[in-house]
Structure 1
Amino acid sequence: MIPGLKFGQDYYDDLLAKYTHKKELFLKGLDDLHIIHNDPEGAYYVLLDISEFGYDSDLKFCEDLTRLIGVGAVPGSSFFREPVNHLIRFHFAKKDETLLNALNRLESLRAKIPSRKRN
């Protein structure tokens, strides 16, 4: 028998509450920083729109993000067949402390990687 089928409903309710909390914590932080993102409906990762930074390569943006901000992300282009280069992916199934640390580091995002958005 598959072990997951033996778990009671309380296990799944707790799991849902845990990941809903993590999602809400991380997305609120991104909203507070005015970082454009999707609202995932069933996954534990979020896609951020990096268009405002004017990069032609999401891989280069991710490299700069890691080097300058200290936060790692995955280039969105690795998940599409089409030439999509304006999205990056963050994983939020982490400890609250890790998510808060990432959000704190992301506060300096626009100071270290200036927006190239035209007003």
Structure 2
Amino acid sequence: RTVTLGSAGKTFSVTGWKIGWAIAPPRLAHAVLMAHQWIPFAVGTPLQEAVAVALEQAEERRYFDWLGATYWAKRNRLLGVLQDVGLTPIVPDGSYFIIFDTSTLDVPVPAGTRRDVAVCRWLTGEIGVAAIPPSPFYSGPHQHLTDQMARFTFCKTDDMLEEAAQRLKKIRG
């Protein structure tokens, strides 16, 4: 009764690789196949084979253990930085995104602009670190739940995270 979807782009950190897969019981797999035959214009068959080999080798080479440990360290580094500058994060366990509370930031909000959008523009323009407003991920009646939130990602190089940490220190003065 479950269809599990996977993505090479997310699994192997190769942004832009539009190679995915679905795992499902036969009845559901057939339905996915029937829909899929009409959705993409073309598929990269050689890349599909390459991803299958990469998945096999990932287990043998303990890639997922390495990736998890790497992201865990990056996550903890960014969590510490956010706490140090007075932004309370929600600690993620299965994502490379951190949602954090922005209510301590006194940011001007232009008329007709969502607060989370204004905060993210301010962080980008004034602090030099890009954040994503979460409101577009919520339906209209629930977007207000994100007014005091923003999102960072930590799937970046250590140098980039260190630069972001230095820039974020401007928040606390």
Query: What is the aligned counterpart of 2:87 among 26, 30, 35?
Result: 35
**In structure 1, C-alpha distance between the alignment counterparts of 2:102 and 2:167, rounded to whole Å:** 16
Q: Unpaired runs of 5+ in structure 1?
A: 112-119
Give 1:73's aligned residue: 131
- Aligned partner of residue 88 in structure 1, secondary structure: strand
Q: Counterparts of 2:85 and 2:118 in 1: how far apart (Å)?
A: 22
Q: How far apart in 1 are the matches of 2:148 and 2:84?
A: 21
Aligned to 2:155: 93
Offset at residue 80 of structure 1 (A): 1.6
Q: Which runs of 5+ in 2 are unaligned?
A: 1-48, 108-113
- Amino-acid identity (%): 32
Higher relative CO (CA 8 A, sep ≥ 6), structure 1 or 2? 1
After TM superposition, the structure 1 = structure 2 runs for residues 1-119 of structure 1, keeping only pairs within 5 Å, are 2-6=52-56, 7-8=58-59, 10-53=62-105, 57-81=115-139, 82-83=142-143, 84-111=146-173
Aligned partners of 1:47, 1:58: CA distance in 2, in Å?
11
Question: How far apart are the structure 2 equivalents of 1:34 and 1:60?
Answer: 18
Q: 1:21: Cα distance to partner? A: 1.1
Query: Which is further off, 98-107 or 46-55?
Result: 46-55
SS at match of 1:8: helix
| Length-normalised TM-score, structure 1 | 0.82
Larger radius of gyration: 2
- The count of corresponding residues between Structure 1 and Structure 2 is 111
Length-normalised TM-score, structure 2: 0.58
| SS, match of residue 74 in structure 1 | coil
Shift of 1:99: 0.7
Partner SS, residue 65 of structure 1: helix
